[in-house]
């Protein structure tokens, strides 16, 4: 959804959400916010300069709740009418349905100034919407991720051999490609390798 927003409108000024752990996370018994960690989504918002505001008060997000109630009653009927049966078909249907919905229900703006910042490049969106995971380099200068083993390659596709025990960040980009950040400086591509077990 964030990808669709960035491609269609640009970088939003703020998200107002409820307090689900996908948005914010606070360690149990943590004395201060400084010792908390970003969620993946909160980190992306921080990198893009998007203010992420959370609330558990229904009155603070009444318009959103009212819209959700409207969509939950109307949208399933519209989807059945159009014979939509997959996520891709639903997304395609929504592109036209949103325009029709807004034409019937939306109120006119009293100004036309947008609070969206210019759209980032596709390359930046791809990396900003990545999932970050910490890993440790093993004895074979490889890392294990999602039950597979990967070797780091530089820009010339030559293997890189970081020291055993080095902490790295695996970057799973939005398009599915894998990269690795070493020492918060160098970024390498990850290439899957076969990992053979030796039996004596």
Give one DSSP letter per residue of 71-138, joined into a string: HHHHHHHHHHHTT--SHHHHHHHHHHHHHHHHHHHPPPPS-----PBPPPPHHHHHHHT-EEEEEE--
% of residues, the chain, pLDDT over 90: 42
Q: For the chain, which residues make up each domain, given as ranges? A: 2-105, 130-193
Angstrom distance (rounded) from CA 37 to CA 157: 34
Q: What is the pLDDT of residue 169?
A: 94
What is the pLDDT at residue 200?
A: 44
> Can you tell me the distance from the alpha carbon of 35 to that of 150, in angstroms, rounded to the nearest whole number?
32
The answer to whether residue 99 scores a pLDDT higher than 80 is yes
Q: Which residue has the tokens 């791809």?
A: 126
Nearest to 5 by CA among 122, 136, 119, 173: 119
Instruction: Report the alpha-carbon distance of residue 135 to residue 128 in Å, rounded.
Output: 19
Instruction: Tell me the average pLDDT of the chain.
Output: 84
Rg over alpha carbons for the chain, rounded to the nearest Å, is: 22
pTM of the model: 0.69
Give the Cα separation of 134 and 129 in Å (integer): 16
User: For residue 11, what is the DSSP state?
Assistant: B
Rounded to whole angstroms, how far apart are CA atoms 164 and 153? Answer: 16
| pLDDT cut 70: percent of the chain above it | 86
> What sign has the CA pseudo-torsion 190, 24, 11, 101?
positive
Residue 199 has what pLDDT?
A: 46
Contact predicate 13/118, CB 8 Å: no
Per residue in 167-194, pLDDT tens? 999 999 999 999 999 988 889 999 998 7
């Amino acid at each position: 959804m964030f990808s669709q927003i960035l491609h269609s409108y640009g970088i939003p000024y703020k998200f107002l959400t409820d307090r689900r752990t996908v948005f914010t996370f606070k360690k149990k018994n943590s004395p201060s916010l400084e010792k908390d960690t970003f969620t993946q989504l909160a980190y992306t918002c921080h990198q893009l300069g998007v203010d992420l505001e959370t609330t558990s008060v229904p009155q603070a997000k009444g318009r959103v709740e009212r819209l959700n109630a409207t969509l939950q009653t109307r949208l399933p009927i519209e989807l059945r009418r159009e014979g939509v049966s997959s996520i891709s078909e639903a997304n395609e249907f929504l592109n036209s349905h949103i325009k029709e919905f807004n034409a019937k229900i939306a109120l006119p703006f009293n100004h036309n100034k947008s609070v969206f910042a210019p759209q980032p490049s596709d390359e930046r969106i791809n990396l900003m919407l990545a999932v970050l995971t910490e890993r440790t380099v093993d004895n074979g200068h490889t890392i294990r991720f999602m039950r597979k083993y990967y070797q780091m390659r530089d820009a010339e596709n030559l293997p890189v051999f970081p020291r055993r025990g080095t902490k790295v960040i695996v970057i799973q980009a939005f398009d599915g490609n894998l990269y690795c950040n070493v020492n918060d400086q160098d970024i390498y591509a990850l290439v899957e390798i076969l990992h053979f077990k030796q039996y004596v």
